[in-house]
Amino acid sequence: MKYRRLRNEELQELEKEFVNFLAANQVTADDWEKIKGEDNDKADRLIEIFSDMVFDKVLEDVEYLEHKTPHDLKAFRFGEEQAEMNGLKIEGESSVDLTQQQSPQQMQEQLKLTGAKLKLYTAEKKYAESRKMEIFHLMEGGALISRDGALFNSLESLKA
């Protein structure tokens, strides 16, 4: 198995796609019920193959990820050869929570009250594994897909 097996709730969300996958592999509904009842190993293998196909498709299309914690946020852009990361970190004690929606003015006021500072940082990394696997590991660690890359691009504009 390349990635991980889809969780039951994920598999339920993709029920139609899974049925199509089974049909493409000439497994009828009756066959599937029989396999589940009599050959758990074969059922598991089919689910694992489907899981890898789903992850391959999703990961292929990812260009941006975001990972937020209360005092640190990172935005990633994935190219063909390497990943770029822009981050923003709160240095010092502050009640600012970067996981919450706050206006820049609210953040600035809270930072002024505590004397904490914002630090912008960046990094680039060539892929140690495949591009898809790097994205997968970050997502398993809590990073979320960003459709438009707005956070990455906002942080990128602050570097200039």
Position 5, amino acid? R
In the chain, alpha helices (H): 8-13, 15-24, 29-38, 40-61, 104-114, 131-140, 150-159
Return all residues near 127 (Cβ < 8 A) that are at least 6 apart.
81, 82, 83, 133, 134
pLDDT at 77: 97
Mean pLDDT of 15-37: 93
Mean pLDDT of 24-53: 93
Ranges of each domain in the chain? 8-61, 64-159
pLDDT band of residue 22 (cuts 50, 70, 90) is: very high
Position 108, amino acid? Q
**How many alpha carbons lie under 13 Å from residue 22 in its C-beta half-sphere?**
21
Return all residues near 8 (Cβ < 8 A) that are at least 6 apart.
none
Percent of the chain scoring above 90 in pLDDT: 71
Return all residues near 154 (Cβ < 8 A) that are at least 6 apart.
none
Flag whether pLDDT at 158 surpasses 90: no
pLDDT of 71-83, one tens digit each?
999 999 999 999 9
CA-CA-CA-CA torsion for 135, 141, 142, 144, nearest 10 degrees?
Answer: 0
CB atoms within 10 A of CB 65: 25
Measured CA to CA, the distance from residue 144 to residue 67 in angstroms comes to 6
pLDDT of 94-117, one tens digit each?
777 888 887 767 777 777 778 788
Measured CA to CA, the distance from residue 58 to residue 36 in angstroms comes to 27
